[in-house]
Amino acid sequence: MCIFCKIISGEIPSEKVHEDNLCVAFKDIHPKAPLHLLVVPKEHIPKVSDLREGEHDHLIGHMVNIANKLATDMEGYRLQFNVGEKGGQEVFHVHMHVMGW
């Protein structure tokens, strides 16, 4: 099981700030901004490039809705997907960084 699947199942502890039937959100362990959260689908999908048009569109919309709610008190924020090793991806389970200032 990958590290984010273990966080989702509770096997590895995390500071969860949101959970619903599709996604969890928790604090990044090495924050790069005053607010740094990861929004993660419960389904194990390795990369954003594995998402299928038509099948996963709702998931991305849902992840942005979660981010907007969690970052509502921030002056500004950045939503970021790293895709592939060259794109800076270290954990191969889809996640959206929410970095807020």
- Residues near ligand AMP, by CB under 6 A: 3, 12, 14, 28-30, 38, 82, 88-91
Measured from the Cβ of residue 101, the count of other Cβ atoms closer than 10 Å reads 11
Shortest Cβ 81–Zn ion spacing (Å) = 15
| Binding partner of 93, given ligand AMP, Zn ion, none, CB within 5-8 angstroms per partner class | Zn ion
**In the annotation, is 95 catalytic?**
yes
For 53-88, b where at least 16 C-beta lie within 10 A, e where not — what string?
Answer: eeebeebeebbeebbeebbeeeeebeeebbeeeeee
Residue closer to ligand AMP, measured from CB, 33 or 54: 33
